[in-house]
């Protein structure tokens, strides 16, 4: 070994582009299998609730269906799959209750499941994970098991959205593929 060879930087390990294919590293254009379907990541958003609390959200599309994979961290990492529903499906009483009381009721029954108010927060929504956040208030409900969710979001004075979801585990997702180059 010559003098120049001695001072050459040692070759670093080749980076395996597949080793970082995990849910938390999904990007727009990635693919993932869940619930016997292949889903494409069509958007990445996040919610900032202040004090370092962030909810990450990936929009997943398969055929004509769209779902939202969310990751929340609160001592542990929690994953959920959510589907948007028409806010009107909750009944006109919910809208009226919020407008009159500035809060929704403590309990909501939807499709035979009773949900109980667990948390509320004001924060900012960042579409595509960037830009200026859009302000919202979110109320989160859970069923008795704590595994089924219902959420209400208020955007402005009288604009509302709703979603229902369930707890999922990271191991339920497989065959993660990176975006095409």
Provide the whole-model pTM: 0.86
pLDDT of residue 104: 96
What does the block give as tokens for 131?
Answer: 């830009």
55-82 tens-digit pLDDT:
999 999 999 899 999 999 877 899 999 9
DSSP 8-state class, residue 87: G
Q: How far apart are CA 67 and CA 180, in angstroms?
A: 21
Question: Helices marked H in 12-167 — which ranges?
Answer: 92-101
Average pLDDT over residues 94-117: 96
3-class SS of residue 146: coil
113-150 tens-digit pLDDT:
999 999 999 999 999 988 889 999 999 999 999 999 99
Main-chain phi, psi angles of 41, to 5 degrees: -80, 115
Show me where the domains of the chain are located: 28-177
3-class SS of residue 82: strand
pLDDT of residue 7: 43
Question: Residue 107: CB partners within 8 Å, gap ≥ 6?
Answer: 114, 115, 116, 117
């Amino acid at each position: 070994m010559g003098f120049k060879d001695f001072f050459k930087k040692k070759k670093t390990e080749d980076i395996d582009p597949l080793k970082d294919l995990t849910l938390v590293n999904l990007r727009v254009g990635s693919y993932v299998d869940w619930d016997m379907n292949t889903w494409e990541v069509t958007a990445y958003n996040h919610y900032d609730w202040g004090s370092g609390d962030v909810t990450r959200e990936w929009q997943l599309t398969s055929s004509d269906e769209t779902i939202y994979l969310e990751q929340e961290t609160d001592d542990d990492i929690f994953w959920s799959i959510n589907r948007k529903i028409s806010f009107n499906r909750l009944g006109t009483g919910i809208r009226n209750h919020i407008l009159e009381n500035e809060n929704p009721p403590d309990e909501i029954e939807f499709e035979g499941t009773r949900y109980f108010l667990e948390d509320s927060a004001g924060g900012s929504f960042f579409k595509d994970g960037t830009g200026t956040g859009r302000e919202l208030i979110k109320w989160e409900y859970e069923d008795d098991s704590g595994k089924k969710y219902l959420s209400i979001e208020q955007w402005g004075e009288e604009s509302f959205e709703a979603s229902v979801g369930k707890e999922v585990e990271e191991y339920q997702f497989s065959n993660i593929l990176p975006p095409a180059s």
